[in-house]
Amino acid sequence: MEDLLKLIRVVPDFPKPGIGFFDITTLVKDADGFRQVIDEFYQHYKDVKIDRIAGIESRGFVFASALAYKMGKGLILLRKPGKLPAEKYRAEYSLEYGTDAVEMHTDAVEKGMSILVIDDLLATGGTARAACELVEKAGGTVAGVGFVIELAFLKGREKLKEYKVFTMIEVKSE
């Protein structure tokens, strides 16, 4: 997985001073690197009961959609406020550099469904926690929460301790 880390550009002071932004655009433009990420997710989750895969806006969409296609599952888009046109659930969360919210259509998850949540990066855990809350609010269960990168020094995994968390790359220090 260290090869994957080499494909990810870190942009200093974005979106504000002091933040190092892990830019996955350099990973997904590399066909072999992108394929490796999707194959790794597939290998990890192929034997897990999953009804649908939820991708968190926006970079999570990239990985969740490719994985949903490979696994033959439906895709759920978890969006920022004001982007979904129909009735929706909403959950607010805090980021390492502010606050935000995520929304999901109320008909995206049927009661009892098992949903895999995918995003590119686990930082403080707030976004993923809110995504899991949306799934549960709709009557689903969280089959797992998967990430390409985990910034372990931000301790986001602690907010997700009741879920099965999978990460491919662990960054231990800033």
Residues 6+ apart with CB under 8 A from 139: 109, 110, 111, 112, 113
Indicate if the pLDDT at residue 30 is higher than 80.
yes
Domains of the chain, start order: 48-171 (3.40.50.2020)
Show the tokens assigned to 28: 């997904």
Strands 52-56 and 98-105: unpaired
Q: Using the CB atoms, write b or e for 57-76: b if 16+ within 10 Å.
A: bebbbbbbbbbbeebebebb
Mean pLDDT of 3-28: 93
- What's the pLDDT at 85? 97
Indicate if the pLDDT at residue 138 is higher than 70.
yes
Indicate if the pLDDT at residue 132 is higher than 80.
yes
- pLDDT > 90: what percent of the chain? 89
Q: Considering only CA atoms, which of 73, 85, 68, 64 is closest in space to residue 131? A: 64
Identity of residue 64: A
Give the pLDDT confidence of 81-109 residue by residue, as tens digits. Answer: 999 999 999 999 876 566 889 999 999 99
* pTM for the structure as a whole: 0.95
- Active site (catalytic) residues: 59, 96
